[in-house]
Amino acid sequence: MSGTAAMEPPPADPDAPAPAALGGVAAAENRATPVIRVRPLTRADDPARDAVVRSAPAGSFFHLAGWERAVERVFGHEPRTLGAFRGDQLVGVLPLMSCRTPRFSRNLVSMPYGVYGGPASTTAGADAALVEAAVRLAEEQDVGRLELRCVEDPGTPGFTGTDLYAAFVAELPRDPEELWTRMPKRARAEVRKTIERNRLSISEGPWYADDLYELFHQSKKKLGSPALPRAWYRALLEELSPHVLVHVARASSEPLAATMSFVHGRKFDFYYIGVTDEANREFNVTNFLVVRLQELCVRRGIELFDLGRSRVGSGPYQFKKNQGFEPRPLAYRTKLVRARAVSNFNPSNPRTERLRNAWARLPDGLTRALSGPLMRYLP
């Protein structure tokens, strides 16, 4: 049973059997392969946690302790993150947060407001130990669901999968000019036309976070969805600077679009974007930003460009394919505990259409006031 998790700190006697916790079976000592023990992480573990996340193949920006601190601070969700240890060494992390639902129950989510989550480890056996411990925790706390937003399935027997989402990640060349040659011909022509005709410019700085808040709210309202509160962007900048980048695209002095992106090691996550109504209709500003931000990454030595997650078959999904990015299905997994089904509260569900149409018609001031409280229940 090497690699099985025990949710307790290591016993004082190294030859004593590891105790069981959270209703689990005790892990057996194996001298050839040291036992993996799992325990909840605290704020004191944040530096070691981030070191593991940065070195683990499955680690992402959303696994970092700063993301968790921002979620807790703005939305009030409670950390339940687990760490896998071999001896005193942290070798794996499963970021988890306990999120309230409108029906006064809770779900465990990895990771709220992020597109990636699940276990991230540097040692064989740690992922399985973390998932096993998370299931025990979910059952002990009698939650509705345990949600893991994995890129690849770490091995989740008894979980339900979904094929709803895909990610779009591309390797970047060393020469910015190569970006143009590998773009599909039509997309390349559109971007060149946009640059020559509209004389768009791009600027970078954390002070553009207010522009992002305003433009993102406009974009989300038009789509019939609540937006993130201003405090969220500020919390990310404060908790995760200098790895949070904010950009604004302009025609003359007027902001047309604003973005917030994240740098994690050799990878750039193009994450939030807000645009004016005419930004893409008249200026093709999203095409412009995708190219300019890739050029920026190449100049800064970043090797991977993540254009974000999209629902399979949606308009953004097709747009990203047209830019030359290939979709990669995401291995989201859900363990049903009290809940009877995986959540389907998303734009793909036709039952949400009436709600989206009603939201888009509400006064702007009302949607601003309601967005923050509602987003607490949409992690």
Q: pLDDT tens for residues 228-269? A: 999 999 999 999 999 999 999 998 888 999 999 999 999 999
Per-residue tokens: 22: 């959270």
Does 346 or 55 have the greater pLDDT score?
Answer: 55
Residue 301 pLDDT > 90, yes or no? Answer: yes
Percent with pLDDT over 90 in the chain: 74
Q: Which one of 52-61, 154-163, 348-357 scores highest in mean pLDDT?
A: 52-61
CA atoms within 13 A of residue 52's CA, in its CB half-sphere: 27
Three-state DSSP state, 135: helix
Q: Whole-angstrom Cα distance, residue 204 to residue 227?
A: 22
pLDDT-wise least confident of 16-25, 55-64, 239-248, 350-359: 16-25
Burial group, residue 206, by CB count within 10 angstroms (0-12, 13-18, 19+): middle
Cis peptide, bond prior to residue 111, ω within 30 of zero? yes
Domain extents in the chain = 36-157, 166-329+351-367
Residue with tokens 């999120």: 99
Measured from the Cβ of residue 222, the count of other Cβ atoms closer than 10 Å reads 12
Sequence-separated (6 or more) residues with CB below 8 Å from residue 283: 194, 198, 200, 251, 256
| pLDDT band at residue 32 under the 50/70/90 scheme | low
On whether the CB atoms of residues 163 and 333 are closer than 8 A, the answer is no
Longest dimension (CA), the chain: 74
Q: What is the pLDDT of residue 254?
A: 85
Classify the C-alpha dihedral 350-352-354-357 as positive or negative. negative
Q: What is the pLDDT of residue 24?
A: 38
Q: What is the pLDDT of residue 7?
A: 54
| pLDDT band at residue 33 under the 50/70/90 scheme | low
Q: What is the pLDDT of residue 100?
A: 93
Backbone angles phi, psi at 292, to 5 degrees: -65, -35
Mean pLDDT calculated for residue range 66-88: 97
pTM > 0.85: yes or no: yes
Per-residue tokens: 33: 């392969």
Q: Where are the beta strands (DSSP E) in the chain?
A: 36-40, 78-79, 82-86, 89-94, 97-100, 106-110, 120-121, 145-150, 160-161, 165-171, 200-204, 244-251, 254-264, 267-275, 304-311, 327-329, 331-336
Q: In what order do the strands lie in the sheet with 327-329?
A: 200-204, 244-251, 254-264, 267-275, 304-311, 165-171, 327-329
State in words which class domain 36-157 has.
Answer: alpha beta
pLDDT-wise least confident of 181-185, 205-209, 216-220: 181-185
Percent with pLDDT over 70 in the chain: 90
Q: Are strands 327-329 and 82-86 parallel, antiparallel or unpaired?
A: unpaired
On whether the CB atoms of residues 22 and 136 are closer than 8 A, the answer is yes
Mean pLDDT calculated for residue range 112-124: 97
| pLDDT band at residue 110 under the 50/70/90 scheme | very high
Q: What is the pLDDT of residue 19?
A: 36
Same fold: 36-157 with 166-329+351-367: yes
Per-residue tokens: 373: 């409280």
Residue 8 pLDDT > 70, yes or no? Answer: no
Across all residues in the chain, what is the average pLDDT? 89
Per-residue tokens: 305: 């460009």
CATH topology assigned to domain 166-329+351-367? Aminopeptidase (3.40.630)
